[in-house]
Amino acid sequence: MLWTIQTRSKISILQMTDRIINSGQLSHVDYLRLTSAILSDKEINEFERQQINRVFDYVQTGRLKFNDI
């Protein structure tokens, strides 16, 4: 899973977070991708980290639904 995150461009993280926020749902696969990206800490910048944290904050506050199917 980590390998796929490292090969993706930086715009992909931003597109993914925008898509998640606009849809109102976080899938299990997206959760794993975002978690891998934030834990790898090699390929993401501060803005991307903030966007990922924003998604996780939205899940905690109920603004996003975690879809664990």
User: What's the pLDDT tens digit per position in 24-33?
Assistant: 999 999 999 9
In the predicted model, is pLDDT for residue 40 greater than 60? yes
Amino acid 10: pLDDT: 54
In a domain, 16, yes or no: no
The parent domain of residue 37 ranges over 30-69
In a domain, 52, yes or no: yes
In a domain, 6, yes or no: no
* pTM beyond cutoff 0.85: no
In the predicted model, is pLDDT for residue 4 greater than 80? no
Range list of H helices, the chain: 2-7, 10-23, 28-40, 46-61
Amino acid 5: pLDDT: 45
Overall number of domains in the chain:
1
In a domain, 14, yes or no: no
- Per-residue pLDDT of 16-25, as tens digits, reads 999 999 999 9
